[in-house]
Structure 1
Amino acid sequence: MSTLSWSDSLALNQPQMDATHHEFVDLLATLDAAFDGPEKLLELALDAVVEHTEGHFAQEEHWMLGMGFAPQNCHSYQHAQVLKAMHEVLDRLRLDGDVVLARQLFDELVEWFPAHARTMDASLAQCMASMAYVPADPARMPPPAATAYAACAS
C-alpha cells in the first residue's frame, strides 16, 4: 500500500497551484482511509477525488490557454487520460463494487502525482512566473507572445 503526504518537495511556489495540490493530497489520504470502511464511504471519497480533479485540471487548462499554450499539448493530454481512468474506475466501483480496481487507481495516483507535479506542473508554474501570469486576475496577464511561449516550452 502506497501513501502520499504533503511536503515541501511537492510545493511549486505558485500559491494557487500549491493549495490545489495540497487539497488533492489530502483527498487522497481520505480515500486511502475509506478503503477500511463501508463501500458507500469509499464511493463518496473517490467521487470527491474525481470532482476535485476535474476542477483542478480545468484550472490548469485555463491557465495554459491564457498563456497561449496549444489546446492539444502533452500536459492537457495527460490530464484527459487521468480523468478518463478515474471516471472508469468510479463507474466500476458504483456498478460492480470493484474495490480492487479502486485500490489500484489509488496506488497509481500516489505514484503518478509527485512525478506530474515535479515535471509538468513545475514547468507550468515556471512559465507562469516568467510571463508574469497572475492566475487570480487573467486580465492582468500580458497578451501571449510566440517568443514568450517558446521560452517556456524549451
Structure 2
Amino acid sequence: MSHHHSHAHQGGFDENAAERLAWSDAMLLGHGPMDDTHEEFVHVVKALAACNAVTALGCLQAVEDHLLAHFEAEREWMVRTEYPNMDCHLDEHQKVLDTVLRVNQLAKDGQVGLRDVRRLAAALADWFPKHATYLDSALSAWISKRRHGGVPVILRRDLAAGVQQESTFT
C-alpha cells in the first residue's frame, strides 16, 4: 500500500467542508470503537464550526481533548496489532494535533479570532474524510484481519435513499 498524505497543514483546502461534514453510515469502517470515535470527531468539529465568541475556547478545547484520546486509541491499536504502516499514520496525526494545539494556545492568548477558529474547523473537516478513507480504513481492515482472519463486514443503512434500485432478478 502506498503512503498517502493529505496535507492538512497546507492552506489549500475546502473552506466549506465543515458545513458539509455529517456523520452517516457511509463513514463506517467496520471497527466499532474506531467508528464511534470518528462519529464523535464529526460532532466536535461541527460544534467548532458553529461556535461563537463565547463558546469558541470551549469548542477548541473539546476538539483538542477529543484528538488526544482519538489518536492515542488508534496508536494503541496499531502497537497491539503490529500495524506495518504505523509511522506514516502517526506522522499525519501529529501534524493535525500540532495545528490544533497551536491554534488553541493562540486562541487562549487572544491572538486568533473566530475566523481562524472556523478555518481550523474547515481544515479538519476537509482532512478527515481523506484520512479515514485512506489510512483509517486500512487500519480497520488490518485490525479485523488480525483479530478475525478477514476484512470487516460493514452494514450501511439508507445509502441509496431516494435512488431507485434496479433488480437483477427477472
Structure 1: which 5+ runs fail to align?
A: 134-154
* 1:119 maps to 2:125: no
Question: Over aligned residue pairs, what C-alpha RMSD do you find?
Answer: 1.6
Q: For 2:98, which of 63, 77, 84 is the aligned residue?
A: 84
CA contact (8 A) 1:65 1:71 kept: no
Distance of 1:71 and 1:41 partners within structure 2: 37
Q: Deviations over 1:96-130 (max 9, x none)?
A: 34123222211110100001001100000000011
One-letter code aligned to 2:90:
S
One-letter code aligned to 1:129:
S
Size of the aligned set, in residue pairs, is 130
Larger RCO: 1 or 2 (CA < 8 Å, sep 6+): 2
Distance of 2:46 and 2:93 partners within structure 1: 20
Distance of 1:70 and 1:131 partners within structure 2: 12
User: Please, what TM-score do these two structures have when normalized by structure 2?
Assistant: 0.72
Please give the residue correspondences for 1:130-145 in structure 2 after superposition, counting only pairs within 5 Å.
130-132=145-147
Partner of 2:138, secondary structure, is helix
Q: Deviations over 1:63-112 (max 9, x none)?
A: 00111136961000001111000000111111134123222211110100
Distance of 2:90 and 2:37 partners within structure 1: 17
Distance of 2:119 and 2:142 partners within structure 1: 33
Structure 2: which 5+ runs fail to align?
A: 1-15, 149-170
- In structure 2, the CA distance between the partners of 1:58 and 1:25, relative to structure 1 (3 Å rule), is same
Partner of 1:115, secondary structure, is helix
Residue 7 (structure 1) shift: 1.3
CA contact (8 A) 2:48 2:118 kept: no
Residue 31 (structure 1) shift: 1.1
Distance of 1:22 and 1:72 partners within structure 2: 22
Distance of 1:91 and 1:40 partners within structure 2: 16
Distance of 1:71 and 1:94 partners within structure 2: 35
* 1:57 maps to 2:66: no
Distance of 2:77 and 2:86 partners within structure 1: 14
One-letter code aligned to 2:46:
A
User: Please, what TM-score do these two structures have when normalized by structure 1?
Assistant: 0.79
**Higher-Rg member (1/2):** 2
* 1:21 maps to 2:21: no
Distance of 2:81 and 2:26 partners within structure 1: 25
